[in-house]
Amino acid sequence: MLPMLLSAAVLFAPNPSWLAGPTSSRPKSQTVTYTFQGYCDGIQLDQDGAAASGYHLESGCSAPDAYAGGFKGAITGYADTWDISTTESGEGDFMETYLIDEKSLEWFLYVSQDSTGTPFEYLQSGTLVKGYSSDDLRRSQAKPTWSRAAGTGRVFPATRSSLKPKAKTVTYTLSGYCDGVQLTQSGDYASGYLLESGCSLYDAYAGGFKAAIPGYAGTWDITTTLYAYGDLVATFLIDEKALVWYLYESSDTDGAPFQYVASGTLTTGYATQPPGAGPRLPSIASLGLR
């Protein structure tokens, strides 16, 4: 099993500076744990202001824990919700995004997987129970099977708003790199791709939500992976107003917890041929961030 506590210091990079908080007063960090009711797994988050790092807890399923992390912000239909990116232990490139509402004690799960052709979509939801006991869960619960067949319906999206705004598709190049992003946006929900054809690679599924994270007016929090990097989870914060992006990654295989990796500017549009703008995005392992 992975170590159960992670210092919040690894999460906060010198750039972007907003991670230290938009004011000089930084909220006190705290560690919380929850069980996904009816299942043998849960979540542990070391929360520090609007950022969190931690683990998708699977010891109650007799499986290793997986790194997790993300941000807190207001999404339409919610007051303040944690948008957490992680993966399922032993499931390769199976990416997971949990919306965790601590006030109502609810969770909503969205997934994508490149190797099985599964785009970013809603899968399941349930209630949270405070605390996590791996011994009790081993005796009483079965490990869930996260698959498309296990879904409770392809709702769009699993929020409290029934309004589905008109969709629009946007594309950007991550300046300085041969990668880009394409998002079909509908209200605060988006699905699409991390574009890597300009790197002579296959695109990767991506998706997420627009959240009012402290320090931003409205930023897209997008979960994806880098093609052929296994269980590496990539989280982009995409600010369309300022045309900047921030990249966070975690990788269970590389023993690298959720942390800041890179940032840059956005350019509207994307060329399918290598634009000569630079190399592909760095992986957390290539930077030695473990």
Range of the domain at 46: 8-268
Dist. CA 276–CA 290, nearest whole Å: 30
Percent with pLDDT over 90 in the chain: 40
| Banded pLDDT at 156 (limits 50, 70, 90) | very low
Residue 287 located in a structural domain: no
Give 144's pLDDT tier (boundaries 50, 70, 90): low
- 95 φ, ψ (degrees, to nearest 5): -90, 140
> Residue 240 above 50 pLDDT?
yes
pLDDT of residue 193 exceeding 60: yes
pLDDT score of 14 more than 60: no
Residue 152 lies in a domain: yes
Which pLDDT belongs to residue 31? 94
Q: Taking residues 13-29, what's their average pLDDT? A: 41
- Burial class of residue 78 (count of CB atoms within 10 Å of its CB; 0-12, 13-18, 19+): buried
284 in a structural domain: no
Instruction: Please tell me the predicted confidence (pLDDT) of residue 79.
Output: 65
29/174: higher pLDDT = 174
The sign of the CA dihedral 92, 256, 49, 223 is negative
Confirm whether 72 is domain-assigned. Answer: yes
Q: Report H helices in the chain.
A: 134-140
Does residue 242 belong to any structural domain of this protein? yes
| Nearest-5° Cα angle at 57, 211 to 29 | 55
144 cis-preceded (ω within 30 degrees of 0): no
For the question of whether the overall pTM of this predicted structure is more than 0.85, the answer is: no
Residues 67-113: tens digit of each pLDDT:
999 999 888 776 679 999 998 877 778 889 999 999 989 998 999 88
Q: Using an 8 Å Cβ cutoff, are 238 and 219 in contact? A: yes
C-alpha to C-alpha distance for 216 and 197, rounded to whole angstroms: 30
Mean of per-residue pLDDT scores for the chain: 78
Whether the ω angle into residue 16 lies within 30 degrees of 0, i.e. cis, is yes
Number of domains in the chain: 1
Least confident span in 161-175, 182-196, 210-224, 225-239: 161-175
148-157, 207-216, 256-265: which range is least confident on average?
148-157
pLDDT-derived band at 4 (thresholds 50, 70, 90) equals very low
Maximum mean pLDDT: which of 21-30, 195-204, 266-275: 195-204
pLDDT of residue 19: 45
Q: Quick check: is 172 in a domain?
A: yes
In-domain check, residue 18: yes
- Specify if 3 maps to a domain: no
